Structure formats: C-alpha cells, structure tokens
Amino acid sequence: MKSPLELKDHRLIICLGPGGVGKTTISAALALYGAMEGRAVDVMTVDPAPRLLDALGLDASSAEPQPVALDGLLVDRRHRPRSRLRALKLDPKATFDALVDRYAPSPAARDTILQNRIYRNLSAALSGVGDYMAMEKLLELHLAPDADLIVLDTPPASEAIDFLDAPRRLLDLLNSRAITLLGRSGGSLLRGLKMVDFAARTVLSAFDRATGLHLLGDVQGFVESFAGMYAGFAERAQQAGELLKSPATIIVIVTTAAAARIIQAREFAASLDQAGLQVDAVVVNRIMPEVPDAAEIPRAKIPPALKRKLARNLNDFASLKQREVHALKDLRSSLSAKSKIIVAPDLGREPRTLADLAEIARSLKIADPASES
C-alpha cells in the first residue's frame, strides 16, 4: 500500500485538531499504518483522556510505552523485521521528575528540587509545564535511535497553539527578569528590585507572616535550586522548537466535513501559518461513501412503495454528499497548494478495535481532485 503522507521520508507526525473529530483515532491509524509499512513507531498522546490507549487495547492507567500486538496485521513479517508499534500517554509530573534527575548537577541538588514544596505541588499544574513536558518527552523519543517514526496526538485545537508555542515561552521565561530577581538572595534581591517589585515582595512577606506558609522563601528556593540547569533547559527548548519546523516533521490537521469544523480547520491553519508552521496535510475524517447508482432502484424486484422510499433516501444521501463536496472545495481554497487533503472513511460505527484502526489506515487516500473543483 502507498502512504498518502509518504511516511518513509519523515520522522515525526504532529496531529492537531478540535475535539470530537476523531483526532486520536487518526493519530492511532497513522501510527499503525507506519508499523504495517515496516517501521518502528512510537505514538504518544498528550490528551489526559485514555482514548488512544483504549483504541489500541492497552492499559490506560500506565504512562510507560506499551507494545501493541500486530499479529494478523502484517502480511509477511519476514520482510518487515523492524515493524513494531508502542503507545504511551504523557505524564507531565513523571517527565519533569526524570528531567530533574537527568540534569541536576548533583544528587543533593536533585533531592532539593524534588522535595521542594513548590515543585511538589505545582510541577504538574504550573501554566505551560504540561506543554513543555510534552515537548521534552517528544524530543526524548525523537533522539532515541530505536524509533523510525513518532506520531503525536496533541490537545484539542483550542489549546494546541499554546502547546506548539511552549518552547518559545520557556525560553522567554528563562531569559526573564523575574527569574533573575528570584534567583538572588537576601540583600541582593532587595537591591535588584524596582519599587513595584518591592511592593509585591512586601505583600508576599505580609502574606507569609499572616499564614505561616513562607511562600516567598519557598518560591525563591525553588528558583535557586535550578541554578546551573537553566542553560540545559534553554538548549532543549531550542531543539524542540527547531524540531517543529524540521523538514522531517509533518503537521496534520484533523477535521470532519461539517461546515463548522471546516471553518475551525481553516482558522487553525491560518493561525499555524502566522506562527511560521506549515500545514502539510488536512485529514478529513468520516467521509461518506459514494452515492449508489439510482438506476438500480427501478429494476429492483421490490414493492413500489419501497422503491419510492429508497429513492427519497438516496436523494437525501446525495444532498449530504454534495454538501461534503462543497466543504472540501471550501477547505482547498483556504490552504496552501503544498497542503494535501486526505480523506478517511466513515466506518458506520465507532472504531473500537485494532482491526477498525487498520481498516481506516488502509483506506486513507488523497482526496479526489474532482471533489475539490
């Protein structure tokens, strides 16, 4: 089978799209397709919901990479010795802990960070931490030599721009004045503060005295404990940002042919373009089958009343299909000529098994140009 995305020429697929369009299903199908082509594939979901692991029949409570059994899906495994598929769900806290363990300058520094109250309570909840940890895990998978292809299932589109912007935001934070000031101690902190900063510190100090929480000291200790590690974080963030724009990376938007979803996809593609990211393909999911030939109805040996009912149903079906054709045309008009439109069939049922995903994977194809003109 020939891949409409030419997966053999790429190392990373990032699947983006609004909730409810089957983004996780398409991510899993693309990953499965790569494995059936003979590649070693890792697929990771950032969505905390367990849909990806459920679809692949895996333990949704585990954050470790889990192998997917491909028995019965490979025509001849002897010619595809590298074929394998692993799936994992991102655990931001565990990823951050592993990052600290890897880059802390000493075991004592590592323990100080991991035991810090601010770190323990907020490492999984701080704004942007989950996004950056996803990028960190993605970079880890990408740099490992044992995967030919990585597929990333991202958060819904409303959060995806923030997700893709995480490397830049981390670099901005590491270069910010706030980090510099908080990293100072004692009198040097006071000397470095402007009047507005001093007022904020006064309020925090009063809050500490009233509550006994020692928040300012904990925050400062949290920042100081990362001394010597910021350069490493900045380097990794820069690498993650470069990976997003690498020629080996494919950015795919997943949508359906519903008018509202097409509008969302067009707006999302425009936002990505403004961010300097090229949309390589849009996968339009749940495409209807071709309209049956109405000429068969009069020849059918069935009661006239049933013939009339079938004819009405066929007309309704044809109207829906025509709407779908117009939606694809509208989508094409808003995309770069370099962006492919790929269609995935509506199975007529909710895809719940590996066999269902394999059926979708094998059915992926470039949209018929006639349907876009």
Q: How far apart (Å, rounded) are the C-alpha atoms in residues 192 and 185? A: 10
Ordered by start, the domain boundaries in the chain are 7-95+130-161+248-372, 105-128+171-234
Q: Are 45 and 53 within 8 A, CB to CB?
A: yes
Predicted local confidence at residue 190, as pLDDT: 41
Give me the long-range contacts of 257-264 (CB less than 8 A, separation at least 24): 257/284, 257/286, 257/287, 257/288, 257/323, 257/324, 257/327, 257/328, 258/327, 259/323, 259/327, 261/18, 261/21, 262/327, 262/330, 262/331, 264/18, 264/157
Handedness of CA 358, 360, 364, 370 (dihedral sign): positive
Predicted local confidence at residue 332, as pLDDT: 93
Which residues, given as ranges, of the chain have pLDDT below 70? 1-3, 48-49, 75-79, 121-128, 157-160, 173-222, 369-373
Q: What is the pLDDT of residues 233-280, one digit of tens each?
A: 888 888 988 999 999 999 999 999 999 999 999 999 998 998 888 999
Please state whether 107 falls in left (phi above 0), alpha (psi between -120 and 50) or beta.
alpha
Predicted local confidence at residue 194, as pLDDT: 46
Predicted local confidence at residue 45, as pLDDT: 87
Identify which of 67, 91, 156 has the alpha carbon closest to the alpha carbon of residue 354: 67
CATH homologous superfamily of 7-95+130-161+248-372: P-loop containing nucleotide triphosphate hydrolases (3.40.50.300)
Predicted local confidence at residue 170, as pLDDT: 72
Predicted local confidence at residue 279, as pLDDT: 94
Q: What is the pLDDT of residues 317-344, one digit of tens each?
A: 999 999 999 999 999 999 998 899 999 9
Predicted local confidence at residue 58, as pLDDT: 84
Q: How far apart (Å, rounded) are the C-alpha atoms in residues 77 and 70? A: 10
Q: Who contacts 90 (Cβ-Cβ below 8 Å, separation ≥6)?
A: 44, 45, 46, 63, 130, 133, 134, 137
Predicted local confidence at residue 192, as pLDDT: 45
Predicted local confidence at residue 158, as pLDDT: 62
Q: Are 45 and 153 within 8 A, CB to CB?
A: yes
